[in-house]
């Protein structure tokens, strides 16, 4: 009897662990309505905020319908962050023209020179504009505790600033191996940061002082490894503390336990991008996962 109870208990535990990793596709959001996507973020009341490269922001309800749209009037927008009050922060990389010689020809290219941030309330009213001279470009951004954190691809550094004053409080740079024009991070538990260090094939967790707390991952073909030329491209934490990682070429979505072990793949996700392209991810308070097919202009929704 005791043996049978033990077997039953083990089976229930295993089935529960498996259920935690099981997700199903719950449709596509924004198909035919969105252009190339830069980033996505969770807004107030678990809405989904989608930032396009043109500066347009579309806010979707959980059922996939559009709640509102916002034309920021900004260009070359690469990052979005939502604060605790529901205000939306949009980051634009400022550029200037420069002529360079390529072989026997001269070409005109755009060189990043700084970052501008526009802050909008939920109704779309512009609250303020700030220019950050200490930033060169902005690929992703988050507001973590009392810090504004921006991934500056040109400087190859994660830059931390005071949210009120904009004063820089630190940089995380050592050991970052970035490639493919991709630089993403997410908020980890206890006001820490998890960087998708794709060139090193690792997810690395830092505190706000820049101290490396833990890391996991290596290049390889096993389920716990990261594949291809460089991965993961993005990551996020589920409400239960498990870790979601996103790989491209081919698309592979996995869930690890809180220690970065025992990975399980979410099956059924289509090929979202081709080659070395970014796949933005956002996770709401209920554990709903949103994955952006950025060049195709739509969002794939996954529910537990």
What CATH number is associated with residue 71?
Answer: 2.120.10.30
14, part of any domain: no
190-247 confidence digits (pLDDT tens) = 999 999 999 999 999 999 999 999 999 999 999 999 999 999 999 999 999 999 999 9
> How far, in Å, CA of 13 to CA of 268, rounded?
24
Domain that includes residue 142, residue range: 24-303
293, part of any domain: yes
288, part of any domain: yes
Q: How many domains does the chain have?
A: 1
Residue 256: is it exposed, middle or buried by C-beta count within 10 angstroms (0-12/13-18/19+)? buried
> How far, in Å, CA of 153 to CA of 58, rounded?
25
Q: Give the chain's largest Cα–Cα span.
A: 84
Taking alpha carbons only, the member of 198, 202, 185 closest to residue 281 is 185
Asked whether 201 and 179 are in contact (CB, 8 A), the reply is: no
2, part of any domain: no
> How far, in Å, CA of 87 to CA of 126, rounded?
10
8, part of any domain: no
> How far, in Å, CA of 137 to CA of 79, rounded?
10
4, part of any domain: no
6, part of any domain: no
pTM, two decimals, is 0.90
9, part of any domain: no
> Which pLDDT does position 21 carry in this prediction?
55
**Which runs of consecutive H residues, i.e. helices, occur in the chain?**
2-21
Hunting for tokens 């009050």 — which residue is that? 85
Asked whether 66 and 60 are in contact (CB, 8 A), the reply is: yes
6-43 confidence digits (pLDDT tens) = 444 444 333 333 344 589 999 999 999 999 999 999 99
């Amino acid at each position: 009897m005791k043996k049978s109870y033990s077997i039953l208990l083990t089976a229930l535990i295993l089935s529960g662990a498996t259920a935690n990793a099981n997700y199903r596709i719950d449709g596509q959001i924004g198909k035919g309505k969105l252009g190339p996507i830069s980033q996505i973020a969770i807004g107030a009341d678990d809405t989904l905020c989608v930032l396009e490269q043109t500066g347009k922001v579309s806010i979707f309800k959980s059922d996939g319908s559009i709640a509102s749209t916002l034309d920021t009037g900004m260009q070359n927008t690469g990052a979005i962050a939502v604060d605790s009050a529901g205000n939306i922060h949009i980051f634009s990389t400022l550029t200037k023209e420069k002529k360079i010689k390529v072989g026997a020809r001269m070409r005109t290219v755009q060189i990043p020179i700084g970052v501008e941030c526009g802050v909008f309330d939920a109704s779309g009213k512009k609250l303020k504009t700030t220019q950050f001279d200490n930033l060169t470009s902005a690929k992703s951004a988050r507001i973590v505790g009392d810090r504004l954190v921006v991934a500056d691809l040109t400087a190859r550094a994660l830059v931390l600033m005071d949210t009120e004053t904009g004063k820089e409080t630190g940089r995380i740079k050592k050991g970052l191996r970035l490639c493919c024009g991709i630089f993403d991070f997410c908020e980890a538990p206890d006001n820490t940061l998890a960087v998708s260090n794709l060139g090193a094939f690792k997810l690395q967790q830092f505190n706000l002082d820049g101290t490396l707390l833990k890391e996991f991952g290596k290049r390889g073909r096993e389920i716990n490894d990261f594949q291809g030329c460089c991965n993961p491209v993005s990551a996020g934490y589920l409400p239960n503390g498990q870790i979601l990682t996103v790989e491209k070429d081919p698309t592979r979505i996995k869930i690890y336990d809180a220690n970065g072990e025992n990975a399980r793949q979410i099956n059924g996700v289509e090929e979202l991008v081709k080659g070395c392209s970014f796949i933005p991810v956002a996770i709401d308070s209920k554990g709903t996962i949103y994955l952006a097919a950025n060049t195709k202009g739509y969002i794939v929704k996954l529910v537990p």
